Amino acid sequence: MRLAESSIHHYHLPYDRPVHWFNSSEAGANFVLLRLVGDDGSVGVGEATIKPTWSGTSVRSVVAVLEDLLLPALQATDITDAAAVSQSMGRFPENTLAKTLIANACHTLRSAATGKPAWQLAGGSRSVDLSWCVTRQAPPAMAAEAARMVDRFGFRALKVKGGQGIDTDLRALREITKAVGTDVAFYVDTNAAYPLDPSGDYIRAIA
């Protein structure tokens, strides 16, 4: 199948509250969505979050590489052939996020063309386990959010963002455990907030 049409959309979605990461704070997120239409009318989409401190990209840089390099290269490719798409994109170094948009849009297009769910085409399963990310706040607020998400959506695992200071992190973990009970698993991600030296003590304290 050949590519008949493509369009790129970008937008900003606000968060319910500001989120504080190790290296930035943000009140919302920018997204780029790629829509592909095959010559049989099948449609596929791929979406990516644009976070400069994570991917080293901006909305303009992703749109530019799609328009200038990747989409033109796709014109001569069978977009239902995953290996052919990968080979076509492999001609260009770097630009992982833009290539991922292409790959995901082609995958969902193949799903639409065959009438099979995308997870089935990928050899996956109908459902997957998910975790909720509890981002940095005061420990009582983190515990309240964790309890709210567990009660409302049934999450059985939490990804807890650390890096607010070891004492604060440990207090947050204690309060989250008290709020959700011991049947909910959680793990900690400090995003390299601490140097290597105290990491052993930190890990033992978490345990």
d(CA 104, CA 164): 36
pLDDT in tens, 66-119: 999 999 999 999 999 999 999 999 999 999 999 999 999 999 999 999 999 999
Q: Show Cβ contacts of residue 151 under 8 Å, excluding neighbours closer than 6 positions.
A: none
Give me the pLDDT at residue 110, please: 97
Q: In this structure, what token pair is assigned to residue 103?
A: 């790959």
CB 38 within 8 A of CB 109: yes
Q: Show Cβ contacts of residue 128 under 8 Å, excluding neighbours closer than 6 positions.
A: none
| Angle at 45 (CA atoms; ends 63, 57), nearest 5 degrees | 30
Mark out the alpha helices in 154-198 (DSSP H runs). Answer: 166-180
pLDDT in tens, 20-73: 887 788 999 999 999 999 999 999 999 999 999 889 999 999 999 999 999 999
Give me the pLDDT at residue 22, please: 76
d(CA 198, CA 43): 51
Give me the pLDDT at residue 193, please: 85
* Strand-strand pairing, 185-189 and 132-134: unpaired
Model confidence at 149, pLDDT cuts 50, 70, 90, reads very high
Residue 121: HSE in the Cβ half-sphere, 13 Å Cα cutoff: 17
| Angle at 34 (CA atoms; ends 9, 63), nearest 5 degrees | 65
Mark out the alpha helices in 51-196 (DSSP H runs). Answer: 52-55, 59-65, 71-74, 82-89, 96-114, 118-121, 139-153, 166-180
Give the amino acid at 56: G
Q: Exposed, middle or buried, 85 (CB in 10 Å: 0-12/13-18/19+)? A: buried
